[in-house]
Amino acid sequence: MEFRFFYHFGRYLLMLKGMFSRPENMRMYWKEFMKQCVDIGFGSLGIVVIISLFLGAVTTVQTAYQLVSGFIPKSTIAQVVRDTLILELAPTMVCIVLGGVVGSKIASELGNMRISEQIDAQEIMGINTKAYLIGPKILAAIITIPALVIIAAFLGIFGGLEAGKMSGIISHEQFMQGLRASFDGYNVFFALSKAYTYSFIISSIPAYYGYNVTGGALEIGRASTTAVVVSCVLILFADYALAALLL
Amino acid sequence: MIELKNIRKSFGDKEILKDVSANMEPGKTNLIIGASGSGKTVLMKCMVGLIKVDSGTVLYNGQDFTAMDDVEKKPIRQEIGMLFQGSALFDSMTVEQNVMFPLDMFSTMSYKERRKRMQECLDRVELKDANKKFPAEISGGMKKRVGIARAIVLNPKYLFVDEPNSGLDPQTSLIIDKLIKDITVEYNITTVVNTHDMNTVMESGDHIIYMHQGKKQWEGSNEDIIFSEDKLLNDFIFASEFFQDIKEMRKMEIFRDKNWRAKQAGGGNK
């Protein structure tokens, strides 16, 4: 089992190393990078909007449910919602969902290209396929996913604000007062550190599994599932490691 | 000229290529024939560098391709065009984007010149009204044509074709075979075709290599193949009764006309 781990880890590192080479044509690489930014960033925007709004709403309702003491001001709910979203829910939950959405897309796209010999066709043309096919995906994920996490944090807080008002738990004024109270900018740095780490995991792990698929359609599906599972486990592991290191 | 010297390749315990040596004649259509599992595709992938050989060398005009790293291989790879068994068209691109892709990546031509070259290649393979279609919207024969157009768009010196007739009806197969043969002559390319289609062998093979269980079993021309006494080769090519008849007909024809070979040599490439 451990040998299998080292085998995959070694190949993964070699794949990453293979990405660094002089681009054959910078314009084509830029075009591919922009395409991936649209696919990964804009393509995931819808799901990010939906889950972050609901995450914020649910956090508000459940925090209010747990704060039973009359001595705790209602604005505390907003503080809890804000910090929970920034520290954990926006980066981790959103990235776990993106691990499924983006990860399976990357793994199946590359897997299909491998099986149908499209990667071989590019290799024969003299293109470094690791640099051309994987590099722009990782770079696009590193640029767009932290942006999505920031959007998710804002929308989550907005969802919490509206849910609090609609359910009669907390007024807009109280919520805004809580949001402004004892805000720590370091939390945003921590959230972004997580987002950058996760975006690298979400893009590079599925790229590894997709790029190295052998077999047929069944193996593409299997690689896609494995990629998503491994990405999610690594996100949770990184979540704990970053919390232990940075907080 | 492509030279193969003592190529060996194994996957695990299974030896796929067993000391294969051969020369691919320049400017000719070289065929690698053999039953499924005889090592044809592995040999071709070793030649283009998609599979690393265990031992032996592949020489392109005397340059050892197998000893080169990926960066050193690039100039030779840009002289190679390849048509894959499944065509390997990029399914996110239209037909014209597929053909233009190598030009976009490697040529210094202007956009207008690249488009002109792309259209020339599509016209050469006689593909009309398909520029804006995606690979999923065109037939197998059309995909092969697009694959050929993409393979020749950078004016390669070497063209590799893996199973050009797989999945095609006999009529389309003949058209694709003729197209490959004509392009070989027209562009003076060294073409290597993997096939087990006997029509291709008889119609377009200038130089034929027969592979059997990972070894080169026989080598010669498509005229010699009819008269070969090699039992394994005969078992392979005359497996169908139809070709048994052709064998008899050809023998009769040749006995009738002693100048047959001279005629073939004179009119073969027209």
**Nearest C-alpha of chain B: how many angstroms from A116?**
6
Q: How far is CA B170 from the centre of its chain?
A: 18
The predicted structure's pLDDT at residue A150 = 96
Could you list the mean pLDDT of each consecutive 10-residue stretch along chain B, which spans 270 residues?
Answer: 92 90 91 89 92 93 89 88 91 94 92 94 88 92 92 92 85 86 90 85 84 89 79 78 65 56 49
The pLDDT of A223-245, averaged and rounded, is: 95
Token couple for A100: 């499924």
E strand residue ranges, B35-123: 55-60, 63-64, 80-83
Cα separation, A99 vs A230, whole angstroms: 9
pLDDT-wise least confident of A18-32, A98-112, B166-180:
B166-180
Asked if B88 lies within 8 A of A21 by C-beta distance, the reply is no
User: What is the dihedral sign for C-alpha A157, A159, A162, A167?
Assistant: negative
Q: Are B184 and B28 in contact (CB under 8 A)?
A: yes
Is A21 in CB contact (< 8 Å) with chain B?
A: yes
What are the pLDDT digits (tens) for A109-166?
999 999 999 999 999 998 999 999 999 999 999 999 999 999 999 999 999 999 999 9
Asked if B86 lies within 8 A of A117 by C-beta distance, the reply is yes
Q: Does the structure show a pLDDT above 90 at A176?
A: yes
Cα separation, B92 vs B94, whole angstroms: 7
Q: Are A137 and A40 in contact (CB under 8 A)?
A: yes
Interface probe for B, chosen from A36, A109, A113, A118 (most Cβ of B below 10 Å), is: A118
Asked if B88 lies within 8 A of A120 by C-beta distance, the reply is yes
pLDDT-wise least confident of A27-36, A63-72, A227-236, B103-112:
A63-72
pTM: 0.86
